[in-house]
Chain A
Amino acid sequence: MHNRRKREVKEARTLTKKKFVNYSRWGYFFIAPFFIIYLVFSLFPLITTFYDSFFENYRVGLMQVGPTFVGFANYLKIFESDILKYGLNTVILWILNFIPQITVSLLLAIWFTSYSLNLKGQQFFKTIIYMPNLIMAAAFSMLFFTLFSDGGPINLYLGNAGIIKEPIRFLARVDWTRTLICIMNFMMWFGNTTILLMSGIMGIDVSLFEAARIDGASSLKTFTKVTMPLLLPIFVYVLITSLIGGIQMFDVPQILTNGNGAPDRTSMTLVMFLNKHLASMNFGLAGAVSVLIFFVTVGFSVLVYKTLMKNYDPKRSAK
């Protein structure tokens, strides 16, 4: 009796073993490459950046200075610099490009997904609006630099058309330089944003729109009461990724102003400031700037997420 019981247990065990192969191990195996690469190329440099920021460590030409531990001296130096001005520049450049970008993208996303409009040639337009994103920012910026230079095609055209007598010196003016940067960023990113928002809108149950229409809601009402509340998670995602992208903005203004952030450093963004230190391999100061940017990014992201998602009820969007 006792033996039989034992045998049964044993059989049951082998059965369990055979029946339930532990697939979760394979899952770990498959996600391992990402984590290994993340650890080596992202997390490790992130931590060393914190570490580096406490050292005086730079190279001028062939002469290496440091690394010497200096405590918070690099942070003090950074706060003595015009970093607040560069931060403000970054915010201005981001907002000036994000407001038109989100407006146009929302409008396009709604048009493209609207059943009542049923636009023709959607694929064509979707491809076209995404195109500028495929050009390298540096190339795009160089193109604008040439177009809007003192003797460039835009000035030539305006001059020949008799609209202006003296060439407009676009890149010597704060307003124009900033406008050009925003136009470029807008053109590069509105297609991407449109596609993200479209995917968000397409995830909303069509019956909700139909119900709204049957109830006689206007398009504006439908937008504010149905589309927007349900689109919120994607909208917040777009906002936060764009914000992070905005804080890290440098390629377009860097090339357009030859790295100087001209005029008078009014188009110098935080990351351009960071690059200034990297040019002299100044890992200490650059590290300090990076750490500050890191905290600013985290702070803003949390703030945006908390405020916007406060009223969001996941049950309402459950299908």
Chain B
Amino acid sequence: MKKALAVLLALVLVSGASSVFAAPKASNGGKVLNIYVWNTEFQSRFKDYFEKAGLVPKGVTVNWVITANQGSAYQDKLDATLLAQDKAKADDKIDIFLVEADYALKYVNTNYSLDVIKDIGMSKADISQMFKYTKDVMTDSKGVLKGVSWQACPSGLLYRRSVAKEIFGTDDPAKVQEQLNTWDKFDAAAATLKAKGYFAVSGYDDDFRAFSDNMTAPWVDKNGKINLDPSIMKWIDQTKLYTDKGYNNKASLWSPESAAGAAGKVFSYFGPSWFIDFCLAGWTMADAKGPKAVGNGTYGDWAFCKGPQSFSWGGTWLVAAAGTDNKDLVKAIFEKLTVDKATLIQISKDTGDFTNNEAGITELAKSDYKNAFLGGQNHYGLLLDAVKSIDRSKITPYDQGMTEKLQAAFKEYFDGKVTKDKALENFYTAILEQYPNLTK
């Protein structure tokens, strides 16, 4: 009762106060730049290469709204805000939001995203050096480009050099690649690794993207029917085999156990270049706050090769939201962080990230660039070959949900807790709960 009264009083006070003291509408909009994002990867790029360069205009506050990606939490938050974008105050409107390939289409084919050329004012020349697939993903059904990225995500196999020497007698990426260029060879190597006390991969989901990125048809067909691709079934069978035989460390993706493997007994991780700097490098260091240098854990004991199957994984695109009151600043950010060759080369040099500039990467690939984490390897040439074969024409807006629910459901099958059929049934149950518009 007391509580209720207090709440009521508070409500009355708040509503009364706000109507009396309502601030005058900001006449010169654009004081706040709202960026919606799910992790700190872009934030650190922005801070290091845009903010530190003094490019944020005086009086503008950059407001980061970070919501975790898992379980569609980020998408839900973004959707709710976008749906209310029209009614929001100028300083509360989203200016830039970031998307992943897994659900990019959801926003590309709507009016919530702005045309990079016509609305933002970038030129055709600006985007000419971006890799084609990064533009394909963000091009809507009418051929309009809706977003840009600073990175491209050709992926490969990251392996421990010292373990490769022990198993194959060499740690040279070209020679190791010969030993691992098919899944059969990878299976055989996994058996050898197991015998020597190593795990081929850290857990269930590590090589998932190698299979899911090579699907023959999209996850969902035109009629909304869910398609279980043969490529996905191959992943399921392989992972079951690996789990039963002890080739993996039974860790789930992004779990502490998976990360711990990098400084332990895990031979390889599958991933793109962002995975190196943003994830793996940190996991390998025995002293997390120590220097990023050889001798700190297994840092520097890694190398990059193509692996059994070429694939791409992830990628982050910047999208200008309809209704932004900071178009000029958005344009400046896009140009500095996704177009400017010098900046992109610097990012690649500093972090090992494969930046989205063909001329820049070609230059780097031919240079004497050495990546310290990869034991002095220049991985850009290898990835430059891979990036051209990337085909993301089979993405759907549902990919993130499919990936998460499938991995969660089949983890129990790998663990031996349920049969394959039951796991499949659980997957369908979970996915239809999330997307009631789809059919089995």
Which residue of chain B is the closest to A37 with respect to CB atoms? B4
Give the interface segment out of A91-99, A105-113, A209-217, A276-284. A276-284
B71 lies within 8 A of chain A by Cβ: yes
A60 to B396, CA, bound (A): 13
Contact partner of A61 among B1, B106, B418, CB < 8 A?
B106
Query: By the criterion CB–CB under 8 Å, are A285 and B436 in contact?
Result: yes
Query: Contact: B255 with A149, CB < 8 Å?
Result: yes
Nearest to B110 among chain A residues (CB) is A62
| Set of chain A residues within 8 Å of B430, measured between Cβ atoms | 260, 276
Alpha-carbon gap, A174 to B5, bound state (A)? 45
- Nearest B residue to A61 via CB reads B106
Contact call A33/B415, Cβ cutoff below 8 A? no
Bitwise interface map of B from 144 to 175 toward A, beta carbon under 8 Å scored 1, else 0: 00000000000000000000000000000000
**Considering only CB atoms and an 8 Å cut-off, how many residues of chain A contact the other chain?**
35
The answer to whether B79 has its CB under 8 Å from any CB of chain A is yes
Q: Which of A171-191 contact B (CB under 8 A)?
A: 172-174
Q: Are A149 and B257 in contact (CB under 8 A)?
A: yes
A3 to B174, CA, bound (A): 124
Which of A14-22, A129-137, A261-269, A307-315 binds B? A261-269
Asked if A58 and B436 sit within 8 Å, CB to CB, the answer is yes
- Known A-B contacts A33-B8, A37-B8, A151-B260; the reply to A60 vs B415 at CB < 8 A is no
Q: Would B4 and A151 count as touching, CB distance under 8 A?
A: no
Take A61-B397, A62-B110, A169-B415 as given contacts and tell me if A282 and B79 are in contact as well, using a CB distance cutoff of 8 Å: no
CA distance A61 to B78 in the complex (A): 9
Interface size class of B (residues with CB under 8 A): 35 or more
Chain A 96-147 residues near chain B, CB threshold 8 A: none
Distance, CA A172 to CA B204, complexed state (A): 14
Residue B417 is within 8 A (CB to CB) of chain A in the complex: yes
Given A60-B435, A262-B408, are A150 and B257 also a contact pair (CB < 8 Å)?
yes
User: 0/1 per residue, A20-56, Cβ < 8 Å to B?
Assistant: 0000000000110110110000000000000000000
Chain A hits for B251, CB < 8 A: 150
Judge if B45 is at the interface, Cβ distance under 8 Å. Answer: no
Would you give the shortest CB distance from A312 to chain B, in whole angstroms?
28
**A296 within 8 A of partner (CB):** no
Residue of A nearest to B83 (CB): A62
B75 at the interface (CB under 8 A from A): yes
Contacts known (A62-B83, A150-B257, A279-B76); A263 close to B433, Cβ less than 8 A: no
Contact of B437 among A60, A149, A151, A277 (CB under 8 A): A60
Q: Are A61 and B257 in contact (CB under 8 A)?
A: no
User: Which of A30, A33, A169 has the largest count of B CB atoms less than 10 A from its CB?
Assistant: A33
B228 to chain A, nearest CB (A): 19
Residues of A within 8 A of B429 (CB): 81-82, 265
List residues of chain A with CB within 8 A of the CB of B255: 149-150
Determine whether B54 belongs to the interface, using a CB cutoff of 8 Å to chain A: no
Tell me the complex Cα distance, A149–B256, Å: 9
Of the residues A31, A172, A277, A280, contact of B417 by C-beta under 8 Å:
A172
Please tell me if the beta carbons of B82 and A33 are within 8 angstroms of each other in the complex: no
Contact with B along A191-202 (1 / 0, CB 8 A): 000000000000
Task: Please report the C-alpha to C-alpha distance between residue A134 and residue B417 in the assembled complex, in whole angstroms.
Answer: 35
Whether A61 and B4, one on each chain, are in contact in the complex, defined by CB atoms closer than 8 angstroms, is: no
B:107-132 near A, CB below 8 Å? 107, 110, 112
The chain A residue with its CB closest to the CB of B419 is A264
B426 lies within 8 A of chain A by Cβ: yes
What CA separation (Å) do A34 and B3 show in the bound complex? 9
Verify if B7 is at the interface (C-beta below 8 Å from A).
yes
A151–B263 Cα distance when bound, in Å, is 14
B72 in contact (CB, < 8 A): yes
In residues 236-287 of chain A, which contact B (Cβ within 8 Å)?
Answer: 258-260, 262-265, 276-277, 279-280, 282, 285
Q: In whole angstroms, how far apart are the Cα atoms of A65 and B436 in the complex?
A: 10
Question: Given contacts A151-B257, A264-B422, is CB(A61)–CB(B412) below 8 Å?
Answer: no
Residues of A within 8 A of B408 (CB): 258, 260, 262
Q: Does B265 contact A (CB under 8 A)?
A: no
Q: How far is the CA of A258 from the CA of B257 in the complex (A)?
A: 16
Of chain B, the residue at the smallest CB distance from A64 is B83
Q: Which of A61, A65, A174, A259 has the most CB of B within 10 A?
A: A61
Is residue A63 within 8 Å, beta carbon to beta carbon, of the partner chain? yes
**B240 contacts partner chain A, Cβ-Cβ < 8 Å:** no
Chain B neighbourhood of A263, CB < 8 A: 412, 415, 417-418
- Identify the closest chain B residue to A281 (Cβ): B76
Interface centre among A30, A59, A149, A150 (most CB of B within 10 A): A150
CA distance A228 to B28 in the complex (A): 72
Which are the 9 A-B pairs with shortest beta-carbon distances? A33-B8, A276-B433, A151-B257, A34-B4, A263-B417, A61-B106, A172-B415, A33-B5, A264-B418
User: Hey, which bits of chain A sit against chain B, CB under 8 A?
Assistant: 30-31, 33-34, 36-37, 58-63, 65, 81-82, 149-151, 169, 172-174, 258-260, 262-265, 276-277, 279-280, 282, 285
